């Protein structure tokens, strides 16, 4: 199965990618997560992408596409956060045929509420919400100390939201036209949302 997860920043698409990955036994490819690792390592690539991530803007095609070519599994995958625009959708289409594009929808009001509450595990990638899915004493179930993403600030999320709003309309109509677009609510409990998605994709 080849799935794409679309959604605003903090919509919950990363959480759903992880839960679907477990349920379907399919690996997740998140360019955002790969880029964050490179930034942490202070690699040449990390230095290149950091300036875009700090601004909340998209990393250019000349960087994202070779990454996609290198890491996209041949058979089954869940793509979290790619494509972000029509050019990326067309580039992806040349490489494979998707089964479903799942848009995790969430209101801007709830996203504002989630900004300060999100904590992520730098080791296993698990995502927590201090309010609705709190970790035990700031520690992930895998034992690592949780962190707050550097781009989870009000100003950067505002910019990431603006980029999403500008790019997503054409992306959504592109996939609607192909008959593979599904919209789900990212405002529900994370586990019932996963069940709902699995039902919709007839798994």
Which positions are annotated as active-site residues? 13, 84, 118, 149, 160
Find out whether 184 and 103 touch, Cβ atoms under 8 Å.
Answer: yes
In whole angstroms, give the CA distance from residue 167 to residue 95.
Answer: 21
Q: What is the DSSP letter of 143?
A: S
In whole angstroms, give the CA distance from residue 39 to residue 50.
Answer: 6
Instruction: State in angstroms the smallest separation of the CB of 84 from ligand AMP.
Output: 4
Residues forming a β-bridge with 120: 127, 147
Binding site residues, ligand AMP, CB under 6 A: 9, 30-32, 35, 52-53, 56, 58-59, 64, 81-82, 84, 88, 160
User: For residues 61 and 195, which CB has a smaller minimum distance to ligand AMP in the complex?
Assistant: 61
User: For residues 12 and 32, which CB has a smaller minimum distance to ligand AMP in the complex?
Assistant: 32
Instruction: State in angstroms the smallest separation of the CB of 153 from ligand AMP.
Output: 12
Crossing angle of helices 86-93/154-178, nearest 10°? Answer: 50
User: For residues 24 and 91, which CB has a smaller minimum distance to ligand AMP in the complex?
Assistant: 91
Instruction: State in angstroms the smallest separation of the CB of 60 from ligand AMP.
Output: 7
Give residue number: closest CB to ligand AMP: 32
Find out whether 3 and 100 touch, Cβ atoms under 8 Å.
Answer: yes
């Amino acid at each position: 199965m080849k799935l794409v997860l679309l959604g605003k920043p903090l919509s919950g698409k990363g959480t759903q990618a992880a839960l679907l990955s477990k349920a379907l036994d399919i690996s997740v490819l998140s360019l955002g997560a790969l880029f964050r690792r490179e930034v942490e390592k202070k690699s040449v690539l990390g230095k290149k992408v950091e300036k875009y991530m700090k601004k909340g803007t998209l990393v250019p095609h000349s960087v994202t596409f070779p990454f996609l070519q290198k890491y996209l599994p041949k058979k089954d995958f869940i793509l979290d956060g790619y494509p972000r625009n029509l050019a990326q959708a067309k580039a992806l289409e040349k490489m494979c045929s998707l089964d479903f594009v799942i848009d995790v929808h969430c209101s801007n009001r709830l996203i504002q509420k989630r900004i300060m509450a999100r904590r992520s595990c730098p080791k296993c990638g698990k995502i927590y919400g201090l309010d609705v899915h709190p970790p035990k004493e700031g520690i992930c179930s895998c034992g690592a100390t949780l962190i707050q993403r550097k781009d989870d600030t009000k100003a950067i999320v505002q910019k990431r939201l603006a980029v999403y709003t500008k790019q997503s309309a054409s992306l959504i109509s592109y996939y609607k036209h192909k008959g593979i677009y599904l919209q789900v609510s990212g405002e529900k409990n994370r586990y019932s949302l996963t069940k709902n998605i699995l039902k919709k994709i007839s798994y």
